[in-house]
């Protein structure tokens, strides 16, 4: 009997080594492990063994059974995983392309604007988009009945609370909380009651600039704006200032850059003028210094605005401001 067990064990081991398909494995299972298999028949033969050896022989058969079973299970697993790689994975399919996110063009341009002003010694300040009438108008020398309120059609929340129409209120907040010397830019979103078209949007982005110290002049303003124009669009771009009016600056100006498409020669985009309007600027009005408690005899300063959307449109040759806000991936994927 022990001989027979040994023989079956040997045989099973040899056969297990040769198995390479699940059909072969199943044949082996039927031969050894099924109810009519070789190992079961060993158990039936156990009754013929003399009583005092029965226990030890039984143990041997049990051992054989569990050995064959565990080899069987191992093989079954490995054949299964081979099968998965063969059948479920097509190595010739193109790989899955992960969707790569990217920065919005306005973010790219704003980062560039900030970097240029960092290098000129400015740092960034922030202010709320929901403002009070006081910061947006009153403290900027625009009293309630002032016609300049019509320059910017305002979205009111209540009579006193509104969506800021420009980033200039940040000038007031900064001067209220800091003493000169001040040298800041304040980027952010602003809102106006405009019907959207190619060049208007009910919200857009500005960068405010403010410098206050003793002895600051209009020449400093021109120098900084010119340095910015050269860094942003190239050193052949000229800058010009035209007299204008803002209640919070005196004197006030609007400033233009050479058209970035024809570099000043005149083309369709600049309507043959060679110039592009950028924004407003000027020397801080003494009334504004009064409102924040600065000594207007001691300090002078300049302020400027800048349209981020407009600069991005010039930089990338985009002719419709609405493209920035529609989130069309065909547009956004180009940057
Ligand atoms: N706040 C003005 C505007 O939105 C621009 C400006 C800023 C003008 C600073 C002068 C000084 O049109």
Cis, bond preceding 181 (omega within 30 deg of 0):
yes
Q: Please, is 207 exposed, middle or buried when counting C-beta atoms within 10 Å of its C-beta (0-12, 13-18, 19+)? A: buried
Residue 73 above 80 pLDDT? yes
**CA-166 nearest atom, ligand 1:** 4
For residue 279, how far is its CA from the centre of ligand 1 (angstroms)? 7
Backbone angles phi, psi at 169, to 5 degrees: -55, -25
Tell me the per-residue pLDDT of 44-54, one tens digit each, with 9 for 90 and over: 888 888 888 88
Which ligand 1 atom lies nearest to the CA of residue 206? 4
pTM: 0.72
Cis status, amide bond into 251, omega within 30 of 0: yes
Q: Rounded to whole angstroms, how far apart are CA atoms 76 and 97?
A: 35
Fold that domain 105-332 belongs to in CATH = BirA Bifunctional Protein; domain 2 (3.30.930)
**Domains of the chain: which residue ranges?**
2-88, 105-332
Q: Whose CA is nearest to atom 7 of ligand 1?
A: 305
SS3 at position 122: coil
Separation CA 215–CA 74 (nearest Å):
87
90 in Cβ contact with 33 (< 8 Å)? no
Quick check: CB of 117 below 6 Å from ligand 1? no
CB neighbourhood size of 206 (10 A): 23
Range name among 95-104, 170-179, 211-220, 242-251 with the lowest pLDDT average: 95-104
Mean pLDDT of 318-328: 95
- For ligand 1, the distance from its centroid to the CA atom of residue 280, given in whole angstroms, is 5
Give residue 82's pLDDT.
Answer: 67
Encode pLDDT of 108-153 as tens digits. 999 999 999 999 999 999 999 999 999 999 999 998 888 777 766 8
Question: Is the pLDDT assigned to residue 85 strictly greater than 70?
Answer: no
Confidence of residue 70 (pLDDT cuts 50, 70, 90): confident
């Amino acid at each position: 009997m022990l001989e027979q067990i040994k023989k079956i064990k040997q045989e099973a081991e040899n056969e297990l080594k040769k198995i390479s398909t699940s059909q072969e494995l199943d044949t082996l299972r039927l031969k050894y492990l099924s109810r009519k298999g070789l190992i079961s028949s060993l158990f039936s033969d156990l009754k013929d063994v003399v009583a005092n050896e029965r226990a030890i022989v039984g143990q041997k058969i049990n051992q054989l059974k569990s050995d064959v079973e565990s080899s069987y299970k191992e093989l079954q697993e490995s054949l299964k995983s081979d099968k998965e790689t063969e059948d479920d994975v097509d190595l010739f399919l193109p790989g899955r392309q992960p969707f790569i996110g990217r920065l919005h063009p306005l973010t790219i341009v704003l980062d560039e604007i900030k970097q240029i002003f960092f290098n000129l010694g400015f740092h960034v300040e922030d202010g709320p988009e929901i403002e009070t009438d006081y910061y947006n108008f009153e403290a900027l020398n625009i009293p309630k009945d002032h016609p300049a309120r019509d320059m910017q059609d305002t979205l009111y929340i209540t009579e006193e609370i509104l969506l800021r129409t420009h980033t200039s209120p940040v000038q007031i907040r900064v001067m209220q909380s800091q003493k000169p010397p001040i040298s800041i830019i304040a980027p952010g979103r602003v809102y106006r009651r405009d019907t959207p078209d190619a060049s208007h949007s009910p919200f857009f982005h500005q960068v405010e600039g403010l410098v206050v110290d003793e002895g600051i002049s209009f020449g400093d303003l021109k120098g900084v704006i010119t340095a910015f124009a050269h860094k942003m669009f190239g050193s052949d771009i000229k800058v010009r200032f035209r007299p204008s009016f803002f209640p919070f600056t005196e004197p006030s100006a609007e400033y233009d850059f050479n058209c970035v498409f024809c570099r000043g020669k005149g083309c369709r985009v600049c309507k043959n003028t060679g110039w592009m309007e950028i924004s407003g600027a000027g020397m801080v009005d003494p009334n504004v210094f009064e409102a924040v408690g600065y000594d207007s005899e001691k300090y002078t300063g300049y302020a400027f605005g800048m349209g981020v959307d407009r600069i991005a449109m010039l930089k990338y040759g985009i002719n419709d401001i609405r493209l920035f806000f529609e989130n069309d991936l065909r547009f956004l994927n180009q940057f």
